[in-house]
Structure 1
Amino acid sequence: MVDWVRLELDVEAFDDAAFERYPRRAREAGIDFATLADLGDTADHRRAVYELNKTCSADIPERGEFFSYEEYLAQRIEVPTFDPAGIVLAIRDEAWIGMSATSLRSPEVAFSEMTGVLAPYRGQGLSLALKVPAIRFVRAAGRRRLVAFHHPRNASAIAMNRRLGFVGQGGSAAD
């Protein structure tokens, strides 16, 4: 059994300005950002989010088989915690190359479902660039904390979130 790393961010204390350079650099490199709400929460877009999430999740250590599309819809989309504004997409030449999906779990807490970037676009700060509007979404939704769980061998995701100010918290993935 994996002892997942639980990280938490105080959204109210997050300093947007300290990280604005990441989305700005991405835009200068021809990458745009939009939410699923901006683009339209359609069946085709849901399928595209699923495919992007599936591809990005393949690199998570010990991830195992990804959900079927029907399971994904039932567990991530067709649930009360879903908001299409919580899915931020990185787009280059109309192709979706990265995502950050966040769900609203309680009146106080949001959950970072997935932040991932396709392999050819990694190492450019896109994960950080995606998390900035995701954190703004959480703040605008009135949540105070953003929680993320990571496999302990997913060092790059852990480091990225720590860089943003996430700190370790007690508890398990079942919390």
Structure 2
Amino acid sequence: MAVEWVRLALDLEAFDESPFLPRLRSCREAGVELTTMAAVGDTPEHRRALYELNKACSADIPGRGAFHTFDEYLAQRIETPVYDPRGVVLARDGDAWIGMAATTIRPEGFAFSEMTGVRAGYRGRGISLAMKLLAIGFARSGGVPVLRAFHHPGNTVAIAMNRRLGFVPEPAQG
């Protein structure tokens, strides 16, 4: 039986981040650094760290299955025309990479939330929401009107976070 993905969209022109800004401040006050892949350097070493982080954060996504090999990850996520290291928000605790929110600007005229995740030991602190705010800022900088996200229906925490930010259901594209 095929899974019917939950398709959500955020109107970037109407989005008001002001109610969520305290979350950014509280993360920073708690010592969580929010940065981007571009800021830390899009190096082979950092690509490997991003892969390991993405793999760890994806491990408990319902229906995920086996994660890509490193070479597959590079080919499918990094070495593509839509990859932009400015669109990969990172959360760090000291030297530890603890969260990521990867967003791409698509040539079809929208932004796509590729992945938002936080290592298990850091969940429940609002880090995902803080990263998502910065990802929304990146999407807005691309001049597109909408940010889309797809979720397995069992990924209720991610769906709820996006709904809290104002994402609404989007009908399946034919």
TM-score range, shorter chain: over 0.9
2:6 equivalent in structure 1: 5
1:108 equivalent in structure 2: 109
Cα deviation code 1:98-134 (max 9, x no counterpart): 0000111125201100000001110111110110000
Q: Output the amino acid matched with 2:61.
A: I
1:148 equivalent in structure 2: 149
Runs of 4+ in 1 over 6 A off after TM superposition: none
Measure the CA separation in 1 of the matches of 2:125 and 2:86: 24
Gaps of 5+ in 2: none
Cα deviation code 1:119-166 (max 9, x no counterpart): 111011111011000000000111111100000010000000000000
Residue 74 (structure 2) pairs with residue 73 (structure 1): yes
Residue 135 (structure 2) pairs with residue 134 (structure 1): yes
Report the aligned-residue RMSD: 1.0
Q: Output the amino acid matched with 2:126.
A: G
Measure the CA separation in 1 of the matches of 2:79 and 2:146: 23
TM-score (normalised: structure 1): 0.96
Q: Percent identity between the aligned chains?
A: 60
1:26 equivalent in structure 2: 27
Aligned residues: 173
Measure the CA separation in 2 of the matches of 1:46 and 1:21: 30
Measure the CA separation in 2 of the matches of 1:97 and 1:71: 22
Measure the CA separation in 1 of the matches of 2:161 and 2:107: 24
TM-score (normalised: structure 2): 0.97
Asked if the contact 1:107/1:143 (under 8 Å) is kept, the reply is no
Residue 91 (structure 2) pairs with residue 90 (structure 1): yes
